[in-house]
């Protein structure tokens, strides 16, 4: 509607200039007025045209499609549609968001639905007193209890780093894209249970204070 109105205004202005020229009326001032009006109009529709061409770019390049779970322009959610001016998505808390296409093409697009498999990275902390192999075995046991975790690529569990008061371990497992969040939360629960079953003490960042008597 906005574009139709703008085109009508431009056509009327050109018609007036042409008719004035035919009738012998000086058109210098009219052309100047039309030029200023055209400049103002171009500035007014600059963002609109930017979103329009960005929308065309998205439709041609197809970095995502309807139904994809993406992170773009600071928003995360499921794409509903890609229009000429706006990209519409539903966030995780079911809020409908319309993002200008210019912001979409100007930002980094993370498409979490593009590949059939995803890797789940998680970190678990244990006490310095715990045996490394014992902790790793408990985590691998928890991984083995989840049928949604793929065995190819093979699960990866290693000691990741030495923190101030804990030893941090990393697990990296693969699953189908649709199972990502189920695997993430189930593995958290399974590791806690397997730590308790195998006598592994889960730890957390803390400060030990030693009192010295003189």
What is the Cα–Cα distance from 119 to 136, expressed in whole angstroms?
18
Give the closest residue to 66 by CA, choosing from 80, 86, 87, 84: 80
List all residues 6 or more positions away from 96 whose beta carbon is below 8 Å from its beta carbon.
Answer: 80, 88, 89, 90
Rounded mean pLDDT of the chain? 86
DSSP character string of 137-197:
HHHHHHHHT-TTSBSSSPPEEEEEEE-SS-EEEEEEEEEEGGGHHHHHHHHHHHHHHHHHH
Answering whether pTM is above 0.85, one says no
Q: How high is the pLDDT of residue 2?
A: 46
Burial class (CB in 10 A: 0-12, 13-18, 19+), 191: buried
Burial class (CB in 10 A: 0-12, 13-18, 19+), 76: middle
pLDDT digit string (tens) for 119-147? 999 999 999 999 999 999 999 999 999 99
Q: How high is the pLDDT of residue 168?
A: 95
């Amino acid at each position: 509607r906005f574009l139709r109105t703008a085109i009508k205004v431009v056509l009327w202005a050109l018609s007036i200039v042409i008719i004035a020229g035919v009738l012998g009326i000086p058109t210098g001032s009219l052309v100047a007025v039309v030029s200023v009006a055209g400049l103002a109009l171009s500035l007014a529709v600059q963002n609109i045209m930017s979103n329009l061409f960005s929308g065309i770019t998205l439709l041609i390049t197809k970095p995502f499609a309807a139904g994809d779970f993406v992170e773009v322009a600071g928003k995360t959610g499921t794409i509903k549609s890609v229009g000429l001016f706006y990209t519409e998505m539903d966030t995780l808390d079911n809020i409908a968001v319309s993002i200008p296409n210019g912001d979409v093409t100007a930002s980094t697009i993370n498409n979490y639905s593009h590949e059939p498999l995803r890797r789940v990275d998680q970190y678990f902390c244990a006490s310095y007193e715990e045996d490394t192999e014992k902790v790793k075995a408990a985590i691998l046991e928890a991984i083995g209890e989840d049928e949604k975790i793929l065995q190819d690529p093979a699960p990866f569990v290693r000691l990741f780093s030495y923190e101030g008061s804990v030893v941090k371990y990393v697990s990296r497992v693969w699953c189908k894209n649709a199972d990502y969040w189920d695997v993430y939360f189930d593995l958290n629960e399974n590791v806690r249970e397997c730590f308790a079953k195998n006598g592994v003490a889960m730890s957390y960042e803390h400060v030990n204070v030693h009192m010295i008597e003189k």
